[in-house]
Structure 1
């Protein structure tokens, strides 16, 4: 008597799974990893904080291991030498991007920059970013914009900490950091400010933020069918959400571009949108690529500087001696009769080391964005079959006890004792990635975070919220591609400079 269909289907699935597993194990020498289940693979074994989960698995299975999202093979590396193999030695073969179906939709099949596969299009857009958009000349030209936003943050903090209802009380620091980060990215890229000193958005700003949040929601809307192709018959991808997002984004961006085209006739402000419009024909960029690139930069920069600055301030509150040492340097170099500028960085080595130490311990994207193998390749003596997704756990590498002495200690001095590059040339610390996929805005990010921290430390003394001891400050991460603090940092700011140095000089 033949088996009923409801019983036959799962038996067939298991048999196919076992045959495929045997085939792969015979053909390829894959990295070891946790035992997987049919259909779902290791999906239900992966903890929400993936980078911590993968660091634990590296201790159990080795510094390179396999993990299956459904039937999709992922390989994770957690050592500097293996990161070098992925990001330098085999860089070109592992420089493609894995795109989920939502990412495929919102990137218009990888016609942007972040989600583009490695090839002529990516090389062209990357050259534009490196040579034109993030060149030292352009970053210097836009320095007044960044300094405006930071001094606005200082005024907002001063007003909040000296008001009758705020004096001596704790502040939610993230609110101020997010405002400066938000306004900085919109002014640098679009030439516009949407948020006031109190964090209130104007009408256009609300639309802008709504579009940005829609992108995040769509990107996170991933079903099991992403990793089990035959389930796509049952889990159809949402075409309506991405289509509405793209339409909304298109209308908003077109309006900005038309405004900037008019502005370019009357002024010489070279914000990123201006540069893209003036270079579009020279680089033969499609309209989709111009719009996609603008929103890639917005997505990459809107939260990351605020995230890193908040983590750093949390570590500083847990280590008062570091605050004291940084303030002594600032007082010696800057004094108490002027405010700091980015031009002072060269004379503030401890402040720079402090930023680097924060990037080591708390990279904003602890697993980087995933790479994809364009062909079969070997890493660490193991086979990485074509289309495998490869992750570099930069969070684990930055805390590796075989690489760093007392790796969990927040000690900026380590970056003064040794010249350690954080922009992709030293594989022990990779907050911006390395190789062909390194973040082209690394220097901009470093400058912004260093400026925020320098001003915060120069203008204010800091202490934990009343009743909280330094060691009690919660440094738990929130799950997600970007590593926010799970609970916003509450702290008390006390002005330490003459009152006139807290007044914003904004030119916006």
Structure 2
């Protein structure tokens, strides 16, 4: 009797399994059939084999060529075939949300490229790695050990010290020449912060006269980091026509190789020496008066080196640490520096906006102390200016691309497996169907009490820099979204607030308006760095 019951039980389980499998296969087949029936997004007619690569090469700026074609065809989604790769640009928030919210799992990977492979050490990092175990491992490390709230608080003093150095640097520049290179101040502040958090140092050489200014080593390091950002996904021809790898027809491969060599020149000696010290101290332990004590990490490099797996062995290899160190830096420096430079330039060109920001800082912080991180929740107008800079002047034309892991249908269009999906930062942030007067810099549109007819507003409680509805992109969203929004917000707001609070800013003599024309050839920044006159506006003792 028991045998019959057990047999019946197993037959029932088997039957349920078979039915479930058939239903699953039916759903998959329906999706495939639907995908085949759906048309592809509109796009130019591709050439055989090479696709639209000839048009891309003829254009001085491929990403602007793509957006110009979309604007001319009045479409919010398109398909450009480059070699055998389908590149899908998107400028509509609703469609963007369908990609990264409704079908996030399908687009959770990254495309392969020469630049991403080089800079990530062969895909050993969290941002650039394709979907897989390496990505899961490094994302967990970043979320739990590097960018957690407790780690953010632990690193507070290092950020505060660099915020003081920023004020000192601008003060010295204004005193010496009367004018300040705002881009240099913003870029070096962000890089100094992350260098301090990562390596516990702001200079690569010892015994430097610390007047707040970078030496040639730091300038070379910063230039190399921003070069990697510019060329990371810059439509390198050999990424779409792999048989051309090594010929370097567009010159990208040499630029990528040289930038990576420069970064490793500064990072490798520090990482190797630090790992040697930890190994010599018996996995982070040392003896003090015959008592075994643990070495306390002093920075993020110590944290990465000290991580252990379940067997007590190092969790990360030297190659993983080197690659992730670079990625943390480039992910940290670009957005805050770009937003602060553009925001300040717009505020100088519009003195009434600058006056409102100064009034808020004087009301919230006063003139007897410098603005601190704890003031950020109360600086809604400063954050509104930063949000508007993210919207109107994004750090890149497109977001980091997503790779489709299977055929699917989005917005009624067939998206083939292996497609590169590019959310257009400029297309989303300047979409006239979403934003009223999209080419104007109007921070008030991000405030709840805005009564000037803007189409979207934030929460009345507190303005935040994140934008989950993808009406513009400040920090990424979804499975491959930015997990460092707290750090990014902190750097952006403190940088902009310190500059506005500490100094009165004016256009240089003889200039009626600061040039805000974006570069046609680079993925971010204005044609020329913003240069403005700065005059201290606080008591002398507040300038370190």
Normalising by the smaller structure, the TM-score range is 0.7 to 0.9
Counterpart for residue 299 of structure 1: 330
Residue of structure 2 in register with 1:121 after alignment: 134
Question: Could you tell which deviates more after superposition, 263-272 or 341-350?
Answer: 263-272
2:539 matched residue in structure 1: 498
Which position in structure 1 is the counterpart of 2:45?
35
Task: Please say if residues 264 and 274 of structure 1, whose CA atoms lie closer than 8 Å, have aligned partners that are also in contact.
Answer: no
Aligned to 1:136: 149
Matched, 1:45 2:88: no
Is 1:199 matched up with 2:213?
A: yes
Residue 68 of structure 1, CA deviation: 2.4
Q: CA deviation at 1:131?
A: 2.5
Asked whether the equivalents of residues 38 and 409 of structure 2 are also in contact (C-alpha less than 8 Å), the reply is: no
Cα deviation for residue 209 of structure 1 reads 5.6
Counterpart Cα distance in 2 of 1:142 and 1:414: 33
Structure number with greater Rg is 2
Question: What does 1:326-341 correspond to in 2, within 5 Å?
Answer: 326-341=357-372
Q: CA 1:228 to 1:149, structure 2 compared with 1: closer, same or farther past 3 Å?
A: same
Residues 273-323 of structure 1 show CA distances to partners (whole Å, capped at 9, x for unaligned) of 122222243594344322221111112223432222111111111211111
| Matching residue of 1:10 | none
CA distance in structure 1 between the partners assigned to 2:191 and 2:203 by the alignment: 8
Matched, 1:477 2:519: yes
Match of 2:170 in 1: 157
* Aligned equivalents of 1:217, 1:355: Cα separation in 2: 22
For residues 383-402 of structure 1, what are the structure 2 equivalents within 5 Å?
383-402=414-433
Q: What CA deviation, in whole Å up to 9, does each residue of 1:231-270 have, x standing for no partner?
A: 4597798898799679755455222444577799686455
Alignment of 1:153-232 (within 5 A): 153-163=166-176, 166=177, 169-194=178-203, 196-197=210-211, 199-201=213-215, 212=225, 219=232, 224-231=237-244
The total of aligned residue pairs comes to 472
CA-based RMSD of the aligned residues comes to 3.2
TM-score after normalising by structure 2: 0.78
Q: Does 1:449 align with 2:483?
A: no
Do 1:174 and 1:488's aligned partners in 2 also have CA atoms closer than 8 Å? yes
1:60 matches 2:72: yes
**Greater displacement, 177-186 / 36-45:** 36-45
Residues 434-462 of structure 1 deviation map (CA, whole Å, 9 limit, x = unaligned): 10111121221111110011111111111
**TM-score (norm. length: structure 1):** 0.83
Gaps of at least 5 residues in structure 1 are: 1-24, 504-508
CA separation of 1:258/1:209 partners in 2, compared to 1, >3 Å: closer, same or farther? farther
Could you list the runs of 5+ residues in structure 2 that have no partner in the other structure?
Answer: 1-34, 205-209, 287-293, 449-456
Question: Is the 8 Å Cα contact of residues 369 and 391 (structure 1) preserved in structure 2?
Answer: yes
Paired residues for 1:260-299 under 5 Å:
268-281=296-309, 284-299=315-330
- 98 and 397 in structure 1: CA distance in 2 versus 1, 3 angstrom threshold: same
Q: Compared with structure 1, are the counterparts of its residues 218 and 33 closer, same or farther at alpha carbon in structure 2 (3 Å cutoff)?
A: closer
